Amino acid sequence: AETGATLKVGSALQVPQALNRLETYARMATMDISIPVQPSVTPTTPLAAGGLIGAVVKRQPVGVVACISPYNFPLVNMAGKIGPALAMGNTVVMKPAPQDPLAIVVLMELIDEVGFPPGVVNCIVGSKAEVGEALVRSNDVDMISFTGSTAVGSAIFEAGGFTMKRLLLELGGKGACLVLDDADLGKAVEALASVWGFHSGQICTAPTRAIVHRSKYDALVAGLAAAAPHLTIGPPESPDTVVGPVISGPHRIRVESYIQSGADAGAEVVVDGRRPTHLDRGYYVGPTLIAGCDNQMKVVREEIFGPVIVVVPFDDDDEGIAIANDTEFGLYNYVFSEDTGRAFEVAQQLESGNVGINTAQRNHETPFGGWKMSGVGRDGGVFGLHAYTEMQSIVWPG
């Protein structure tokens, strides 16, 4: 509730998904993730006699892991951090975002209630930057797992270097949705509209940049403009609400400033969601669609983290790929085409840790993380177990 998530998002994604992640990693706790290595025929050296040398790569706990979660999905994100960290034998310190810490405080109470040994799972809260900085700089913390903005992630990367922290950083995104000339527009519109209807666009994987072949451009803009009025904006506790409030007043002002910057740069605000008039309480931004954009506009280049879609045209696949890659981010991109072979070829040319073809859905067993300024490291599924361990190579004469 304190996040402003709608009833649909909260009931479908926060608690059930968090439970699923914890249960999944509890089952994985006894999994052997050692990596066998082919025996090597090694010649005699001044070090030792030669022969057949066997080897295995073991995974050992990192130690103390500080898990710092974002405000948009506090519970499910934290579960995805502490689940694999604990399964691999680490201890953890949970630090929720200052905007909405209560879910993690309750989680800590439940962890104590079920009988975790004291000190295995810990929780600290605080709105001051010094709280997070203390974790990042502490010699007693071996790893930082952080989800949040690129600016904060960069600061963690720099500060953590003084103590050689192991880092898992899942940072900002500016997802490109490439709509090719043979795309199914219905599928593309549905995926893009998730920017509006899924937690008011406050999600790093959202396809916020619609990069559209010129032959489909007008039809896609019209389709999105027609879809926007059908997304009910209202109180998050209402079962009919699709678009709820953003996290805070300052964040609403930030989102609105990006919309204005697009208009000032000459783009067309086709659907303007600023300050819905039927709501007098809450920090609302409605679905917003900005067309006539080019890739140099601030509204196109920077992460907005709100229900705003920008539309940029292209004339051939190479140009579309170049526009998609012309960004500092590389977390999640999308390709829409009825020719899946062509879409697959395009996907492999995108500078992105994840690519969805004809869907905005995810496979949570795949490694998740970003290229470029979108982060360092991967988690998800069994890859999450590897993320919270150190490699140890053991060799012996065979």
Residue type, 330: G
Separation CA 235–CA 213 (nearest Å)? 37
Beta bridge partners of 372: 329
Q: To 10 degrees, what angle do helices 15-28 and 74-87 make?
A: 10
Active site residues: 170, 204
**What 3-state DSSP class applies to 311?**
strand
**Tokens read off for 209:** 């940049």
- 153, 310, 161: which is closest to 224 by C-alpha? 310
* Residue 310, both tokens: 């920008």
Collapsing DSSP to helix, strand or coil, 70 comes out as coil
Beta strands per DSSP E along the chain: 35-42, 51-61, 64-68, 91-95, 121-123, 143-147, 166-170, 176-179, 209-213, 268-271, 288-291, 308-314, 329-330, 332-336, 354-357, 371-372, 375-376, 389-397
The Cα–Cα gap between 368 and 266 comes to 36
Q: Which of 370, 368, 369, 348 is nearest to 357 (CA)?
A: 348
Both tokens of residue 352? 């992105």
